[in-house]
Amino acid sequence: MKLKHYFEKHPEISQKALAEKIGVSPEFVSMLAAGKRTGSIEKCILIEELTNGEVTVEDLRPNNSWDKMKNNLLRRMLKG
């Protein structure tokens, strides 16, 4: 589901509240919902978790391969 549709389906959840939970500005979340920005892999994973899987990483980053993102994230975690 697109983030925009998630907010429409759940009017009790504000863009501001989600922004606070993932550590970004409400404006950034607004741009994500409008499809004008792409979040980092980590932020997309957080959004997927916070929306209980209703908005997936693939929904947020449709032009990227999940396998590639997962491998990049694993490499970062192993370096850290």
Provide the pLDDT for residue 77. Answer: 87
Provide the pLDDT for residue 66. Answer: 72
**Residue whose entry in the numeric block shows the structure tokens 């509240």:** 17
Strand ranges (E), 1-69: none
According to CATH, the superfamily of the domain at 3-79 is lambda repressor-like DNA-binding domains (1.10.260.40)
Domain residue ranges in the chain? 3-79
Under 8 Å between Cβ of 60 and 39? yes
Point out the residues of the chain with pLDDT beneath 70: 69, 80
Under 8 Å between Cβ of 3 and 59? yes
Provide the pLDDT for residue 5. Answer: 97
Provide the pLDDT for residue 69. Answer: 67
Provide the pLDDT for residue 36. Answer: 94
CA 79 – CA 68 distance, rounded (Å): 17
DSSP state of 53: T
pTM higher than 0.95: no
Provide the pLDDT for residue 67. Answer: 75
Q: ∠ CA 9-14-15 to the nearest 5 degrees?
A: 105
Provide the pLDDT for residue 74. Answer: 85
Provide the pLDDT for residue 29. Answer: 98
- Residue among 30, 28, 29, 61 at smallest CA distance from 44: 61
